[in-house]
Structure 1
Amino acid sequence: MNDGQVPLSSTLRATAQPLAARADFRAGDLLIRPSMLSIEGPGGSAKGEPRVIRVLVALADAQGGVLSRDMLLEQCWDGLIVGDDAINRAVAELRRLIASVGGQVEVQTVPRVGYRLEAGDVLAQSTEEKRPTAGASRSSRRAMLIGGAALLAVGAGGTALYLDRSQRGTVDELIERGRVLQATGGPDTKQRAAALFRQAIEADPGRADAWGWLAAVTIGSGKAIAHAQRALALDPSEPNARAVMAVERLDLDDWITYEDTLLGIVRDAPECALALAQIVLFYQGMGRCVDSLRYNERAIAVEPFNPAHQARRSMKHWIFGDLAKCDQVANRAMQLWPREPIVWNARMITLAFTDRPYAAGVLLDDKAKRPGNLSPPTIGAWRATLQAIADRRAGPSRNDVAVMVDTAMQSPGMAANAIMALSYIGLLDEAYQVADGLLTQSGQVVQRTSGSLARDIYAGPVWGRTQFVFVPACANLRNDRRFTALCARTGHLAYWQKRGIGPDKFVRGSIKL
């Protein structure tokens, strides 16, 4: 039935203006510049993607009213059919954008309805034009109510559809909250995110994306594979589940298959942060530092406040010779995520192996910033390492060297640290003994599988992979003539030859391909 009213979708589409034509306006403590794709707040300014700015403008134009997901699609996606994840990502990115400039404006989720902008007493005040009159506002609200009534007047079938959408919205919100939580670091974030994903699954067991996210946050546990398999049974293309299965098969498949699998995932799902992060680690471990940097920046674009991505960014600046930027990122990361193991380790490494052992020692002694489960053997090994670096010009004591070598047999991460330290201070025979034990299980300095292991942050196998081999601390190791033989035993030479891509020239050392 048409009673002469303009359909709601047409009204929304007609009110949308190109961003370039929109005047600057204020919303709460934000100055929004649509034509510049930027916002300014108490903490600075930031640029956003056009779609994200369109969502912000639409919510501000609603003057505190609620916009449903359908309304946002009409205004910001021009009615295009996109997945629910598109709206979730845009809203999440908008929230991160506002937080990055210190804004107090809040994008609120109204369960089973949509989203609204909460900005105190001030919403969408143009810096050049007057606010819409009360009459115009009432007219707009009336159109929204009429459109809403029309949606509810479609009978029993429409009611069922509405209920389905309401349930879907609840599940979407749980998944989005878990996704953001797992990407922000801090104590128990993975466990808390897992609880949200389990709630989503309980509400809708058929959601492949919920199962995929649950697999991602439980990776490395015995349950992750089962969660991923459940996701893939529902949707064979689910990206997180595919990434989990690839990681769990690492070293069961050959490295080229592993690489191709991860690249295929990010080709199909460019915002799969788990796959991006694994490519970052893989390329760094293969000496492809430039490619590793590129994919880490892509991961940061997806999850800008993920401590692991930012810790790796600080390391990349060190690898590429920009110590000032390395310090800037590392110090800020320590402020944001104190006691986060990967952040703390990156800061320790970049202080210790840039000839600043005393600064690293201060950090080691700061219990408020030190990871809580750091074991006595690990602390002792770090102390010996820092003392050996301080004494390296005069010659490190044999006792400090012995402590590093002994602890190297207790956990992969401490073996990696020992190799970097021994290479850095020029004790290459000892460095190769530890490297042979860690990477090829040969010689006498091999990893102990039982007994007094240092079961702390360095116990996981990922710490002992070859990412550390291609950092500046291991330059002496790479320049030694034994490096080619070591790379042949680890399988790196075969990978480089089959792929036709060697390590970057500035980290190639004595390798000749």
Structure 2
Amino acid sequence: MLKVRDLASRSDFTEGTLRVSPSRRIIAGPAGQTSLEPRIMQVLLLLLDASETVVTRNQLFDECWGGAIVGDDSINRAIGRLRRVLTQVAPGAVDIETIPRTGYRLILRAAETPFCAAEPVTADEKIARSSWSRRRLLGGGLALAAAGGAAIWQAGESKEDLAAQLITESDAIARAGKQESTTQALALLRRAVAVSPNNAQAWGALALAVARSEHPSLAQTTSPTLDVERAAQRALRLDPANADAKAALAIAIPYYGDWLSAERRFDAVLAQHPRHLATIDAKAFLMAATGRPRESSEVRLRYLSGEPFDVRLHYRQIYAHWMLDRIAEADQISGRAMEMFPRHPGVWFGRLWLLASTGRIERALALVDDAYGRPPLPASTVASLRAGLIAALSRDRSEIDAAVRQVMAGVQRSVNGVVNAIMLFNIMGATDAAFDLADAYYLERGPILAAMQWRPGQPRVPDVRGRKTNMLFTPNAATMQRDPRFLPLMRKIGLVSYWRQRGITPDFLRR
């Protein structure tokens, strides 16, 4: 039997009411035809080849992803897209049955309308019309959806089908990383659970989306952790094996100062769902935040390449290559990411710190001065970045002192101001200022008051799990790490105890 990945070698065939052309990646049915992405076509072929027997998730990973390390959500997206297309081209004739904790089975039914070569309306056109109509309804009725409004779906489309489409659309919006994406993605998921309240996948996706969001709502009146717990527990009552719900419960709890408990939570999820991408990513960030940036980067590079269109994961590659001293690769990734996701804060800051920390301060300064290309940063942030880079370039003591005062003035307004300040102080060589700020931020000591929470207007980089420590372990923090004040700081924030309990040596001590 030909491998499903060999699309060009597969002949066209008819199965029930479907006409499939693997080489051209076209599927047709009584209601029209459409083209499929290569991987979606591979998933369809594997399900068809199974002749209505169950295809496990591991088989899907091995056959369609070539065994690459990708998350369970990759399969969820593929199945969701395939269900949507099959509903459009052959409504009522084909189902994809989910077998909990196992996999999927494709079911073919005899249809009243036989296959017809005529193509009155393509499925792509129908999908586009459906999406446009749904966007219009959502745009005008998010308040209704948030309150659990009435179910609205097209004739012939089940609640489960609509929920699956809403989950897919939410994921696509979140992956694009636009400024308003968090609010839009969460609104779609809330709509999905309102439409299909017994849908475990929808509740799990909602729990995970809230858990991964740094600040789900400016008008939030309840704790995000409680929101995560409610949605996750609902998902687990419906499906005790729901991976997203388990991951959400593990990720939602801030882990600053409680590193070991967090790692054990992530490991417990990965023991049952070793390919769950959000959990792998969360654990990789924990590694970086606990002094293991090289191990974190190696883990990330094993799975990030499989998700090139997810900005939440894509820009991590910039840091991963930088931590491994692969500057040429980091430059290529950052340049590509800037083109794919223009003005995204995570991508832009990744490019900025890469340039500034590898001796290319003039280029970093040009990036800051490019008002068209940078994200919508507050004017005070732009001014602080510019002052710090100019001081780093000149190495003039008076300019460094002036820049320190300007940067310090901004740390009370924004938690990202703290992260930026420590990065800038290390680039400028203002080590004393870096330790003064660290005492204020981590230990709440000294005359400086550092922001601990997100502030309105602050551009979000969705990595935070409590107070950040990852910037203390970047290559440009080497001077801090060699300073006799560094290990006492690590002891006070609990990292020395964590290293002892785990029996590990952080990267900076290895050097």
TM-score w.r.t. length of structure 1: 0.69
Assess if the C-alpha contact under 8 Å between 1:112 and 1:169 holds in 2: no
CA shift digits 1:172-213 (9 cap, x unpaired)? 333233333322322433333333323332332111111111
**Whole-angstrom distance in 2 between the partners of 1:72 and 1:166:** 25
Assess if the C-alpha contact under 8 Å between 1:478 and 1:509 holds in 2: no
Closer, same or farther: CA 489–224 of 1 in aligned 2, 3 Å: same
1:508 alignment partner in structure 2: 509
1:112-131 paired onto structure 2 within 5 Å: none
1:139 alignment partner in structure 2: none
Cα shift at 1:165:
10
**Whole-angstrom distance in 1 between the partners of 2:25 and 2:423:** 56
**Whole-angstrom distance in 2 between the partners of 1:196 and 1:320:** 38
1:17-32 paired onto structure 2 within 5 Å: 17-18=2-3, 24=9
* 2:494 is aligned with 1:487: no
Correspondent of 1:470 among 467, 470, 473: 473
**Whole-angstrom distance in 2 between the partners of 1:287 and 1:114:** 54
Name whichever of 56-65 and 376-385 sits farther off: 56-65
2:248 alignment partner in structure 1: 244
1:310 alignment partner in structure 2: 314
1:73 alignment partner in structure 2: 47
1:414 alignment partner in structure 2: 417
1:39-58 paired onto structure 2 within 5 Å: none
Assess if the C-alpha contact under 8 Å between 2:256 and 2:468 holds in 1: no
Closer, same or farther: CA 151–233 of 1 in aligned 2, 3 Å: farther
2:94 alignment partner in structure 1: none
**Whole-angstrom distance in 1 between the partners of 2:44 and 2:451:** 58
Cα shift at 1:494:
0.4
1:403 alignment partner in structure 2: 406
Name whichever of 280-289 and 84-93 sits farther off: 84-93
Assess if the C-alpha contact under 8 Å between 1:111 and 1:170 holds in 2: no
Closer, same or farther: CA 342–449 of 1 in aligned 2, 3 Å: closer
* AA partner of residue 238 (structure 1): N
1:210 alignment partner in structure 2: 202
* 2:304 is aligned with 1:300: yes
**Whole-angstrom distance in 1 between the partners of 2:255 and 2:176:** 29
* AA partner of residue 252 (structure 2): E
Closer, same or farther: CA 114–64 of 1 in aligned 2, 3 Å: closer
2:288 alignment partner in structure 1: 284
Correspondent of 2:458 among 432, 443, 456: 456
Closer, same or farther: CA 76–371 of 1 in aligned 2, 3 Å: farther
Closer, same or farther: CA 393–169 of 1 in aligned 2, 3 Å: same
CA shift digits 1:105-157 (9 cap, x unpaired)? x9971426669xxxxxxxxxxxxxxxxxxxxxxxxxxxxxx9625999xxxxx
Correspondent of 1:191 among 146, 166, 183: 183
Correspondent of 1:177 among 162, 165, 169: 169
2:110 alignment partner in structure 1: 148
Correspondent of 1:324 among 305, 323, 328: 328
**Whole-angstrom distance in 1 between the partners of 2:193 and 2:485:** 53
**Whole-angstrom distance in 2 between the partners of 1:284 and 1:387:** 29
**Whole-angstrom distance in 1 between the partners of 2:451 and 2:85:** 51
Closer, same or farther: CA 114–486 of 1 in aligned 2, 3 Å: farther
**Whole-angstrom distance in 1 between the partners of 2:237 and 2:257:** 21
Assess if the C-alpha contact under 8 Å between 2:4 and 2:45 holds in 1: no
CA shift digits 1:450-480 (9 cap, x unpaired)? 9x97851269865851111111110100011
**Whole-angstrom distance in 2 between the partners of 1:78 and 1:405:** 64
Cα shift at 1:21:
8.7
Cα shift at 1:285:
0.5
Assess if the C-alpha contact under 8 Å between 1:112 and 1:170 holds in 2: no
Gaps of at least 5 residues in structure 2 are 13-19, 34-40, 65-72, 92-107, 115-154, 217-223
Closer, same or farther: CA 494–185 of 1 in aligned 2, 3 Å: same
- Aligned residue pair count: 415
Larger RCO, structures 1/2 (Cα 8 Å, 6+ apart): 2
Correspondent of 2:271 among 261, 267, 271: 267
Correspondent of 1:111 among 62, 71, 87: 87
* AA partner of residue 303 (structure 1): E
Closer, same or farther: CA 224–113 of 1 in aligned 2, 3 Å: farther
1:218-257 paired onto structure 2 within 5 Å: 218-219=210-211, 220-221=215-216, 222=224, 223-251=227-255, 254-257=258-261
CA shift digits 1:349-399 (9 cap, x unpaired)? 112222222212222122222222x22221121011111111127774421
**Whole-angstrom distance in 1 between the partners of 2:250 and 2:482:** 33
**Whole-angstrom distance in 2 between the partners of 1:81 and 1:339:** 41
Cα shift at 1:344:
1.1
Cα shift at 1:78:
7.6
Cα shift at 1:287:
1.4
Give SS of 2:458's match. Answer: coil
* AA partner of residue 148 (structure 1): A
Give SS of 2:282's match. Answer: helix
Give SS of 1:183's match. Answer: helix
1:431 alignment partner in structure 2: 434
Cα shift at 1:282:
0.6
1:200 alignment partner in structure 2: 192
Give SS of 2:85's match. Answer: strand
* AA partner of residue 370 (structure 2): D
Assess if the C-alpha contact under 8 Å between 2:385 and 2:424 holds in 1: no
Assess if the C-alpha contact under 8 Å between 2:341 and 2:347 holds in 1: yes
* AA partner of residue 110 (structure 2): G
Closer, same or farther: CA 423–235 of 1 in aligned 2, 3 Å: same
TM-score w.r.t. length of structure 2: 0.69
Cα shift at 1:340:
1.0
**Whole-angstrom distance in 1 between the partners of 2:76 and 2:279:** 22
* AA partner of residue 176 (structure 2): T
Give SS of 1:305's match. Answer: coil
Cα shift at 1:438:
1.3
Q: Which has the larger radius of gyration?
A: 1
Assess if the C-alpha contact under 8 Å between 1:355 and 1:389 holds in 2: no
1:31 alignment partner in structure 2: none
1:357 alignment partner in structure 2: 361
Assess if the C-alpha contact under 8 Å between 1:388 and 1:401 holds in 2: no
Closer, same or farther: CA 70–411 of 1 in aligned 2, 3 Å: closer
**Whole-angstrom distance in 2 between the partners of 1:17 and 1:78:** 18
Cα shift at 1:74:
3.5
Cα shift at 1:493:
0.3
Gaps of at least 5 residues in structure 1 are 1-15, 28-55, 97-105, 116-145, 153-162
